[in-house]
């Protein structure tokens, strides 16, 4: 019988040992794998399985014909999309509000979390934290009603306050002027989500070793210095990971805020990509066109995610993958 060369025999032993370790680890963690199966099934059913619907972007949609028998139109829907002037208008609005929200969603929650982390009175701290994240659970329909009432020219709190301090001479119709719409949406989003977004940063701060702060106090560092040289560097990986994920979702801002706060007077500033797909695609029974819009949205999101991840990985050594 021919002997196996020593090098090949060692490779066989190593592969068998790797397989054995994998099997043993799988057996040891079998309950964890079983617990994860519902989430894997959920992701497959609601995230990956619907991707077959992207075929409609290259077809002429007809609900009475099976997906394989429909007329193929190639990239016609994408050509119509890029030739439409309204598309570039909604992209401008989408990117503008996305960048404003991205900046606000990081600077303000981080500052809020830093300040709240310095509060030593636990009852006061927990009360403020609870009050700050409660608006997250309020639907945008309710928030839009509150914002509209506060900005109303008829006893609206904002107009009354500005007139009382002498900044305005008469009420302003804030929701009727397009130049104010992006700021109104961003400020509404800040009020609604700042407390909720700060929870992640507070959780990261809770993991910082107290010895670092004690050593800084011995060296005479003020609270501001401790935040700058200890707290912020310690939560830097969390900030970067969240930043990468947020950049990947830069144009996926939804449409609830814009739909509920917008009106015909500010339509040139309120219409975003998802509203564009709804009004120019689904409502007009142009399902293939709407699919092309959402496919474009997904492809851009993937490109942004990989680009942001690559840049942060190269320059900061932190990345999602």
Residue 112 CA, distance from chain mean position: 19
Mean pLDDT of 215-225: 89
- The residue extents of the domains of the chain are 1-74, 77-315
CATH architecture of 77-315: Orthogonal Bundle (1.10)
Helices of type H across the chain: 6-28, 30-43, 76-83, 85-117, 122-133, 140-150, 157-164, 178-206, 210-218, 223-226, 232-234, 236-248, 256-261, 267-270, 273-277, 287-315
Alpha-carbon gap, residue 118 to 238, rounded angstroms: 19
Q: What is the mean pLDDT of residues 223-243?
A: 91
Split at pLDDT 50, 70, 90, the class of 33 is confident
pLDDT in tens, 71-107: 889 999 999 999 999 999 999 999 999 999 888 878 9
- The mean per-residue pLDDT over the stretch 188-192 comes to 93
User: pLDDT at residue 13 above 60?
Assistant: no
pLDDT tens profile 262-272: 989 999 999 99
Region for 72 from its dihedrals, namely left if φ exceeds 0, alpha if ψ lies in -120 to 50, beta otherwise: beta
Q: Compute the Cα dihedral for 44, 46, 49, 55 and give only its sign.
A: negative
pLDDT of residue 60 exceeding 60, the answer is yes
What is the Cβ-side half-sphere exposure of residue 132, based on CA atoms within 13 angstroms? Answer: 19
Q: Which residues pair with 71 in a beta bridge?
A: 60
Q: Which residues of 169-191 are buried (b: 16+ CB within 10 A; e: fewer)?
A: eebbebbeeeebbbebbbebbbe
Which carries the bigger pLDDT value, residue 169 or residue 105? 169
Instruction: Say how far apart CA 117 and CA 113 lie, in whole Å.
Output: 6
| pLDDT of residue 221 exceeding 60 | yes
| Whole-number Å distance between alpha carbons of 74 and 57 | 8
What pLDDT is recorded for position 4?
A: 47
Q: Could you tell me the pLDDT band of residue 181, with boundaries at 50, 70 and 90?
A: very high
The SS3 call for residue 60 is: strand
Tell me: pLDDT of 120 over 60: yes
pLDDT tens-place string over residues 270-316? 999 999 999 999 888 899 999 999 999 989 999 999 999 999 988 88
Cβ pair 295, 279 in contact under 8 A: no
Query: With left for phi above 0 and alpha for psi between -120 and 50, is residue 285 left, alpha or beta?
Result: left
Question: What is the number of other CB atoms lying within 10 angstroms of the CB of residue 267?
Answer: 15
Residue with tokens 């935040």: 227
pLDDT the model gives residue 7? 52
- Select from 106, 77, 126, 93 the least CA-distant residue to 295: 77
Q: Is pLDDT above 50 for 113?
A: yes
**CB within 8 A of 52, min separation 6: which ones?**
67
Q: Spell out the residues 6+ positions from residue 289 whose beta carbon is closer than 8 angstroms to its own.
A: 77, 80, 81, 280, 281
């Amino acid at each position: 019988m021919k002997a196996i060369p020593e090098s090949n025999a060692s490779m066989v032993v190593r592969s068998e040992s790797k397989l054995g370790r994998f099997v043993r680890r799988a057996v040891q963690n079998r309950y964890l794998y079983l617990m994860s199966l519902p989430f894997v099934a959920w992701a497959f059913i609601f995230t990956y399985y619907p991707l077959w619907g992207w075929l409609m972007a290259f077809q002429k949609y007809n609900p009475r014909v099976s997906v394989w028998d429909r007329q193929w139109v190639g990239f016609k829907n994408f050509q119509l999309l890029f030739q439409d002037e309204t598309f570039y208008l909604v992209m401008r609005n989408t990117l503008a509000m996305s960048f404003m929200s991205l900046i606000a969603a990081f600077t303000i929650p981080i500052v809020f979390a830093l300040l709240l982390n310095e509060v030593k009175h636990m009852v006061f701290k927990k009360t403020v934290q609870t009050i700050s994240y409660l608006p997250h659970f309020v639907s945008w329909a309710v928030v839009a009603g509150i914002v509209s009432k506060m900005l109303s020219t008829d006893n609206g709190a904002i107009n009354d306050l500005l007139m009382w301090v002498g900044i305005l001479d008469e009420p302003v119709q804030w929701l009727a002027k397009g130049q104010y719409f992006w700021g109104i949406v961003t400020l509404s989003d800040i009020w609604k989500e700042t407390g909720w977004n700060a929870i992640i940063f507070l959780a990261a701060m809770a993991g910082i070793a107290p010895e670092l702060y004690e050593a800084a106090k011995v060296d005479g560092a003020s609270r501001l210095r401790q935040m700058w040289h200890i707290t912020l560097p310690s939560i830097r990986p969390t900030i970067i990971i969240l930043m990468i994920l947020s950049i990947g979702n830069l144009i996926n801002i939804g449409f609830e805020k814009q739909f509920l706060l917008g009106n015909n007077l500010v339509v040139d500033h309120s219409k975003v990509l998802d509203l564009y797909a709804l009004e120019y695609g689904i409502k007009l029974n142009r399902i293939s066109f709407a699919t092309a819009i959402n496919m474009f949205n997904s492809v851009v999101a993937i490109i942004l995610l990989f680009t942001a991840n690559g840049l942060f990985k190269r320059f900061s050594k932190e990345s999602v993958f």
